[in-house]
Amino acid sequence: MDLKGQVGIITGAARGIGKEIAFALARRGVNCVLCDMDTKQVNETAEEIANLGVETLPITLNVADLSQVEQMKNKVIDKFQRIDILINNAGITKDGLLLRMKEADWDAVISVNLKGTFNCTKAVIKAMVQKRYGRIVNIASIIGLIGNVGQANYSASKAGIIGLTKSTARETALRNINVNAIAPGFIETKMTKVLSDDVKSALLKQIPLGRFGKPEDVADLVIFLVSDKSSYITGQVVQINGGMLM
């Protein structure tokens, strides 16, 4: 799946799943725009990826701020004159039971996860429409499909991303822009590493494959969805959860 010369924007790219996606794209020749709130970490990640022989552009970005997103898009166009791929991966959690959830925690999660996905998608669509080509992959979650105790805000944001994915796919299909979502289950990241052994054991019992996924599993699926191998797939939510939800 050679994507050499294409330009991809990855949000939440400094670490974890976003970083692994960026590396996977770079290995296939994609010039990577790495966006994250953590300036130091995103610059370090950009340096690592540049060693693979592609161009990188690290940008400190709050995806919830449309003006910042527009500025980011302009920088990308100025440098590369094109945008082929957008990976909406940036996301946060602020968990708590609905009864006790603060309005600020609800607003923050919706703003970053859902509004951030809208902002970035809206910003790149014009460039993709003009070129009559684009691949957008939104990182949703199994929690957006089944809900979870203490994650009403997160679940709502990820369910919203799924609806946004389907509507965007319908609006852009005739312009050869494919828009899909990935709904990961429990993936080995910082968030899962801090779970207690009892919690991990309980979760693993719900997963038929008996293990957590790896960031590479998600990255491999992203590569498929941005390649020509998936040119007839759009508006879909692809689950990657070890069989936890079938």
Tokens 């009403």, residue located: 152
Query: Could you tell me which residues are beta bridge partners of residue 86?
Result: 9, 136
DSSP annotation of 189 reads S
Sequence-separated (6 or more) residues with CB below 8 Å from residue 124: 9, 73, 83, 86, 134, 136
Does 154 participate in catalysis according to the annotation?
yes
Helices (H), 173-214: 190-193, 197-204
- Residue tagged active-site, from 154, 160, 213, 226: 154
Burial state string for 73-91 with b = 16 or more CB within 10 A and e = fewer than 16: beebeeebebbbbbbbbbb
Tokens 């080995």, residue located: 188
Active site positions, annotated = 154
